[in-house]
Structure 1
Amino acid sequence: MDRRTLVRILTPAVALLLLGGCTGAGVDVHGKPGAAGVRDPLFHKLGNGGYDVQHYTLTLDYDPATSRLEGTAEITARATQDLSAFNLDLHGLTVESATVDGKKAAANRAGDELTVRPHRDLDKGRTFRTVVRYAGTPTVIVDKDKDTSEEGWLTTADGALAVGEPAGSMAWFPGNNHPSDKATYDITVTVPKTLQAISNGELQSERTTGDRTTFAWKSKKPMASYLATLAIGKYDVKHSTTASGLSVLTAVDKTVADDSAEVLAQIPEIMEWATDNFGTYPFSSIGAIVVPDGEVEYALETQTRPLFPQKYVDTETLVHEIAHQWYGNSVTPATWKDMWLNEGFATYAEWIWLEDFEGTPAQESFDAAFDTEKNWEFAPADPPSAAQVSEDPVYYRGAMVLHKLRQKVGDETFGKIMQGWAAEHRYGNASTADFTSYAEEKSGEDLTDLWKTWLYGTDKPANP
């Protein structure tokens, strides 16, 4: 006799006990585990199915002397299916406990997948709260998009940097690590009082107790996990506002502060120009984090607070990362295959800036990109693998697509498309198909041939 048959002939109370519940618990067995991965076409294992995160509250304590991180992640999410279990992405670190809605939950690890099984199934549509306590030495993740690109938790001379594109956020907190699941964040970090901890959004409080200081940061608008950042170290922190009243916060490693000042002083001017071109700024602050060369090898558009190694503190890169606040951060790609919607747009922002301020027509930038053979290795909307998602065609062929669109529809309509696209998908996610449909709708043009040649084509046209 199987267990279910036995249950049917027992009293309800005994049957409930055999099913793992207790009288009055209302135990249900209708749920299924959420998927381990959202089947991203390039990064198959990133993200998880079955729920949508609404908010992360991260409470962290870091000791640079021992490289030990202690963390509590409180994750508020909504079930998108009946759930018996769900996964979180977490790389390394030791999970000490997990609860769901205040009750102990089973937590099992398999590589970077943390499976949480709540005390009882979660009904579709229900909002629930998961708390994971964890600790250990966070590590570097070698990025699949480049052989030598490092992300995750990078130790520095006096602290650490947490950077996440595309997979690194799971090195310092558990979550749904895919751009399609955006959430708001509260990040509170305690460090030695000789250091600062800089993160996204606005600083809510700074409190010193004994030899430790706690910094509390809040991001009120949705953010993809790869855009969350944390910089711990000795920084020259400056607060200012633009003419329109937007808060500007820059945090520059003291060893490179003097060399960065002139470029960073351009932030208000760039913000005014960007707002004129791209529409209303989607966030309530902007700024930058600057570190010495060697601590990180690339600039990154971390939300509201772009990150730069000293060698990339120049006007064009600053324009690029600020443009990302509209294209990539507010309007975030639906999958990593849509990366050109980030990088092509930010690269074209550079071309427009050069046209407006440096006397270099966008056509000249286009011509240089057209003549570069590396840009023709694959179509910008179809990177063949995760290893190529950040290669030149995504950036420069992506920008070439926008230039050809501008030529086709004219400057006025093109400007409306750029601003309207950012406004219509504000704080959301969008795909390449969404953009092509939007551009055709707003221009009233059949752009099939343009997309075929410049967005999806692999053969270099004879005549640009």
Structure 2
Amino acid sequence: MSSGGGTRVRRLGVLITALAVVAAACAGPGIDTGGGGGTTVPTRSTVRTDPGVSVPDTGATDEGGYPPVPSSVDLPGVSGSTTTGETVPPARPVEGDIGLGDPYYPDWGNGGYDAVRYTLDLTIRPEQDLVDAVVTMDAVATESLLGFNLDYAGPPLDQVMVNGIEAEWDRDGQELRIQPVDVLPAGSEFSVRTTYSASPNSVPTVAWPQGVGWQAPRADLVYVVSEPNGARGWFPVNDHPSDKALYRFVLTVPEPLTAVANGELVGSTTEGGMTTFEYETHHPMASYLATIGVGEFTARSSPGPDGIELRDFVAPGLVGLATPALDLQAEMIEGLTPLFGPFPFDIYGALVVDSEFGGALENQTLSVFSGGMFRSPILAEEVVVHELAHQWFGDSVTIDNWRDIWLNEGFATYAEWLWRDMTEPDFDLDAFAVATADSGRPIWGPPGDPGPAGLFDSTVYIRGALTLHQLRLTVGDDDFFEILRTYASRFADSTVDTAGFVAVAEEISGRELGDLFDAWLYGDRTPELVGG
């Protein structure tokens, strides 16, 4: 995510050596790194299975680490016996856990199932501030479930159904507790259908107190920017990045408004003054990246490199301001692909809204930009390349806990610097990095542990990017960019933590790098850049 000068100071490449001045004091102390050769970061690996389902590696343990290892999936036809013929009693049905044990937000997300697909069928009437919503989650039970939770902070619900049968349910704060009529066996597929007719809510969060999620600033405009937990304000969801899923959007709006969303437009029909737009994602997506936009937009479409479709939707009054930076997206993809690997999606573009929410967000395949981000040509270019880089790092490769957000923001900020290195003949990246580290040394705390309120503190962006530059100086350009390409490929459409990235870096470079990452990610002061 980007900020135009508030808490989210992401585009601070534009501040150059004044970056330290922009940086706010980092929240949260560093974790105990122990000073050993390996970085002391809690680990969680995932293996890719069906699209949208991440299954924890069964080699993990639950000895106090994050997150707790869920019970083994008791697959149909297997649960009653072993390969030796012994009879094994089926797992006793349980209530799904409330929360996934995130180190910063332990109650976010829910246990007992993996979301596979969400269908959001929304009839949106902005002039009435009204949404008729039918939301379906298809999921797979990872335990035999008597009941389970969804995260939800939206308007009152009219109905909750599980597998087509009305279920008992209640709400407690931001938890929606559901009791289906029948037990959901481990390994079984099930669906949850919820409905409401009301206005969705934005959700205040300690990391972004202004509120994230549903935004309806005018009678002719709706858009969504949800990082980190705004999705629960407009649909019931397993709202944690570790549970990625596919999405389908069916958006019906009054003429002449247009509705846009993540993914590919697969159809549209108009009847009785209402137009329905249908969008499908082809890759699993974290819930905070789900977005829609409703309004009057100027649409732009052009072929991009390697068959990628580029399409933008811009508020009519901002076309002149936004076009110069948006026109660089194809060139940016061409420039970054040799460094990061193939672009992870077959479609990409921007939604530029005439509303000042103070930043930009890298929603998967459709980044959302506040119009004010384009008033400075320098800032506009850096914001556009930053959100584009997130499609690799943050969207395709997604963090599995919020403490590791530097893996998103540090990488995207470093992409800004790489873009400047490509396009500005007089830009000296090494000198810039040294000056930046020196200017911010007194105020930047540990980017690897910024604290629950510090997800968008400048240290996460800038010292996170400096961590990557120190890695580059240490291992050399060839190994550094091979590390980035391997990391992007290995964890595509999946989730990862800092330990996963460190493991790739040590594998490719053949070096012990724990001390480097401990110092740069968890030390109280920004270290000196060495090497080169």
Gaps of 5+ in 2: 1-89, 375-379
Give the superposition deviation at 1:204: 0.8
Aligned AA (1:283): F
The alignment status of 1:307 with 2:374, answered yes or no, reads no
- Counterpart of 1:134? 196
Flag the 1:462–1:301 CA change in 2: closer, same or farther, 3 A: closer
Match for residue 433 of structure 2 among 335, 356, 366: 366
Q: What SS does the aligned partner of 1:355 have? A: helix
| Residue-by-residue CA offset, 1:66-88 (whole Å, 9 max, x unaligned) | 21111111111011111111111
- Counterpart of 1:182? 244
Gaps of 5+ in 1: 1-27
Flag the 1:278–1:29 CA change in 2: closer, same or farther, 3 A: closer
Distance 2:428 2:472 in 1: 13
Q: What SS does the aligned partner of 2:128 have? A: coil
Match for residue 387 of structure 1 among 411, 429, 453: 453
Q: 1:69-84 to 2 correspondence within 5 Å?
A: 69-84=131-146
Aligned length in residues = 434
Q: What SS does the aligned partner of 2:322 have? A: helix
Q: 1:50-69 to 2 correspondence within 5 Å?
A: 50-69=112-131
Distance 1:140 1:332 in 2: 23
Are the counterparts in 2 of residues 29 and 84 from structure 1 also a CA contact under 8 Å?
no
Q: What SS does the aligned partner of 1:181 have? A: coil
- Counterpart of 2:160? 98
Distance 2:431 2:268 in 1: 48
Are the counterparts in 2 of residues 190 and 213 from structure 1 also a CA contact under 8 Å?
yes
- Counterpart of 1:12? none
Q: What SS does the aligned partner of 1:436 have? A: helix
Are the counterparts in 2 of residues 256 and 292 from structure 1 also a CA contact under 8 Å?
yes
- Counterpart of 1:256? 318
Distance 1:375 1:188 in 2: 50
Distance 2:292 2:134 in 1: 15
Give the superposition deviation at 1:267: 1.1
Q: What SS does the aligned partner of 1:371 have? A: helix
Distance 1:212 1:370 in 2: 54
Match for residue 344 of structure 2 among 276, 282, 285: 282
- Counterpart of 1:343? 409
Are the counterparts in 2 of residues 58 and 73 from structure 1 also a CA contact under 8 Å?
yes
Match for residue 155 of structure 1 among 195, 200, 216: 216
Larger radius of gyration: 1
Flag the 1:97–1:374 CA change in 2: closer, same or farther, 3 A: farther
Distance 2:316 2:106 in 1: 40
Q: CA RMSD in A?
A: 1.6
Are the counterparts in 1 of residues 213 and 233 from structure 2 also a CA contact under 8 Å?
yes
Give the superposition deviation at 1:431: 0.3
| Residue-by-residue CA offset, 1:268-318 (whole Å, 9 max, x unaligned) | 111111212110111110110111242x21110000111111222311111
Q: What SS does the aligned partner of 1:372 have? A: helix
Distance 1:136 1:155 in 2: 13
- Counterpart of 2:516? 450
Aligned AA (1:302): N
Flag the 1:81–1:139 CA change in 2: closer, same or farther, 3 A: same
TM-score, scaled to structure 1: 0.91
Flag the 1:311–1:289 CA change in 2: closer, same or farther, 3 A: same
Give the superposition deviation at 1:135: 2.4
Flag the 1:147–1:368 CA change in 2: closer, same or farther, 3 A: farther
The alignment status of 1:224 with 2:290, answered yes or no, reads no
Distance 1:134 1:188 in 2: 15
Flag the 1:97–1:458 CA change in 2: closer, same or farther, 3 A: same
Q: Percent identity?
A: 38
Give the superposition deviation at 1:459: 2.6
Asked which structure has the greater RCO (Cα within 8 Å, sep 6+), the reply is 2
Distance 2:508 2:387 in 1: 27
| Residue-by-residue CA offset, 1:313-335 (whole Å, 9 max, x unaligned) | 31111111000000000000010
Are the counterparts in 1 of residues 444 and 526 from structure 2 also a CA contact under 8 Å?
no
Distance 1:379 1:147 in 2: 22
| Residue-by-residue CA offset, 1:169-201 (whole Å, 9 max, x unaligned) | 111111100000000000111111111111101
- Counterpart of 2:23? none
Moved more, 417-426 or 239-248: 239-248
Q: What SS does the aligned partner of 1:153 have? A: strand
Q: What SS does the aligned partner of 1:167 have? A: coil
Q: 1:380-459 to 2 correspondence within 5 Å?
A: 380-384=447-451, 386-459=452-525
Aligned AA (1:419): R
Distance 1:252 1:51 in 2: 38
Are the counterparts in 1 of residues 91 and 144 from structure 2 also a CA contact under 8 Å?
no
Q: What SS does the aligned partner of 1:65 have? A: helix
Distance 2:465 2:277 in 1: 39
Aligned AA (2:450): P
Distance 1:376 1:304 in 2: 34
- Counterpart of 1:352? 418
